[in-house]
């Protein structure tokens, strides 16, 4: 595994050539987006995409998102580009919004878990856009970590999770958003959020009107129309417990867990003081919280904590993405 440090403001052309050559040869390159680091392969090459599933230990029924550098690239991945897609792209691209549309023949079935639809987005990161442009192909790219584990937000997270599975890591420092993109299905009767993110349902409604949130459970082994729909996902090695909001409940859960003689850390927005409990204060805003969440979970594992207690976050649309990640990470 090779690691190349990349300055997003001054990208070395030689590094881009190296990375693009790997992609065109069917290899895997980990690269930064504004959300998390992705593990990229040529989305038009079924064998290359299969390498992503092998590297991550990812089940075949969990699809991948295709990343493009421009609207022309997006249009080649789908069979139609309706006016609503144009409107959303005009407002939110480049950015953390994935649009699910009917898949074109350019994208092999392995990308979409055999379904007739595919998720497409244009990332808002200069390194990601430059890599896609240099490779000349769209990139299928889930998060650059082992399946079900915490997504990487810095290059070191990628190396620790994937080891030698990536041919190259483009390390451009920390990401700016911190959790994965919002996924919006445009093939349903009403546009439906399949995975919440930092573009909220309220943000979407302001642009296109009616939007629904997906509520159907997808059984294990069944193809999902979007990544991020596995019951258990984003999980640290430590046991993660989401407590009720407020210091009283965090204290109660912490005292219970500490009585089992395990190492416990709490991620809390409220002041908490319990003997032998480590407390890492968390930001008050949803955007700031999302930006640091995965880093805190990686840190908890690196420092050997057995239990992570997370104070629950507000039940408002702005926090939907964070709440979704915490709920899935807490399932066992």
Confidence (pLDDT) at 231: 81
The pLDDT score that the predictor gives to residue 217 is 73
Q: What is the 3-state secondary structure (H, E, C) of 175-235?
A: CCCCCCCEEEECCCCCCEEEECCCCCHHHHHHHHCCCEECCCCCCCCCCCCCCCCCCCCCE
Sequence-distant contacts of 58-61: CB under 8 A, at least 24 apart: 58/142, 58/147, 59/147, 59/221, 60/110, 60/113, 61/113, 61/114, 61/221, 61/222, 61/223, 61/224
3 state DSSP class of 267: strand
Fold assignment, 239-330: Rossmann fold (3.40.50)
Q: Cβ of 281: how many Cβ atoms within 10 Å?
A: 12
pTM: 0.96
Looking at CATH, the fold of the domain delimited by 2-213 is given as DHBP synthase (3.90.870)
How many helices (H) and strands (E) would you count in the chain? 10, 15
**To 10 degrees, the CA torsion angle through 322, 162, 128, 293?**
20
Class of residue 84 by CB neighbours under 10 A (exposed 0-12, middle 13-18, buried 19+) = middle
pLDDT value at residue 105: 97
Report residue 279 CA to chain centroid gap. Answer: 26
- Token pair recorded at residue 63: 């699809």
d(CA 134, CA 116): 28
- Report the chain (332 residues): mean pLDDT per 10 consecutive residues: 95 98 98 98 98 97 97 96 97 98 98 98 98 98 96 97 95 98 97 98 98 83 89 91 92 95 95 95 98 98 97 97 96 80
* Domain segments of the chain as ranges: 2-213, 239-330
Q: How would DSSP label each residue in 101-142? A: EEBPTTS-GGGGTT-SEEEEE----HHHHHHHHHHTS-EE--
- Indicate the DSSP class of residue 319: G
Please give the Cα distance from 40 to 155 (Å, whole number). 14
Query: What is residue 332's predicted lDDT score, i.e. its pLDDT?
Result: 75
- pLDDT at res. 218: 78
Give the pLDDT of residue 233.
86
> Which residue, 65, 320, 323, is CA-closest to 196?
320
Q: For residue 249, give the DSSP letter.
A: H
- The closest of 144, 146, 147, 164 to 155, measured between CA atoms, is 144
- Identify whether the C-beta of residue 301 lies closer than 8 Å to the C-beta of residue 160: no
Answer yes or no: are the C-beta atoms of 192 and 212 closer than 8 Å: yes
């Amino acid at each position: 595994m090779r690691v190349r440090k990349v300055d997003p403001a001054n990208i070395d052309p030689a590094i881009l050539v190296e990375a693009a050559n790997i992609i065109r040869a069917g290899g895997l390159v980990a690269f930064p987006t504004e959300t998390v680091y992705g593990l990229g392969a040529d989305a038009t090459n079924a064998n290359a995409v299969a390498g992503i599933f092998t590297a991550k230990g990812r089940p075949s029924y969990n699809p991948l998102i295709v990343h493009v550098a421009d609207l022309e690239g997006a249009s080649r991945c789908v069979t139609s580009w309706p006016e609503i897609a144009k409107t959303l792209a005009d407002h939110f691209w480049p950015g953390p919004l994935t649009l699910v549309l009917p898949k074109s023949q350019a994208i092999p079935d392995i990308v979409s878990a055999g379904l007739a639809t595919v998720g497409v987005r244009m990332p808002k990161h200069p390194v990601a856009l430059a890599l896609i442009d240099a490779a000349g192909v769209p990139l299928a790219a889930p998060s650059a970590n082992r399946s079900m584990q915490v997504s990487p937000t810095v290059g070191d997270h990628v190396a620790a999770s994937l080891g030698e599975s990536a041919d190259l890591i483009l390390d451009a420092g920390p990401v700016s958003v911190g959790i994965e993109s919002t996924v919006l299905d445009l093939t349903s009767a009403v546009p439906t959020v399949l995975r919440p993110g930092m573009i909220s349902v309220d943000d979407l409604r302001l642009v296109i009107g009616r939007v629904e949130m997906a509520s159907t459970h997808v059984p294990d082994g069944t193809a999902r129309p979007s990544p991020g729909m596995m019951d258990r996902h984003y999980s640290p090695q430590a046991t993660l417990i989401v407590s009720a909001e407020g210091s009283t409940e965090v204290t109660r859960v912490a005292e219970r867990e500490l009585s089992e003689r395990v190492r416990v850390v709490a991620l809390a927005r409220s002041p908490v003081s319990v003997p032998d409990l480590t407390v890492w204060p968390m930001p008050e805003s949803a955007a700031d919280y999302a930006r640091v969440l995965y880093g805190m979970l990686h840190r908890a594992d690196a420092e050997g904590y057995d239990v992570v207690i997370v104070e629950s976050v507000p039940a408002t649309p702005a926090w939907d993405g964070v709440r979704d990640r915490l709920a899935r990470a807490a399932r066992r």
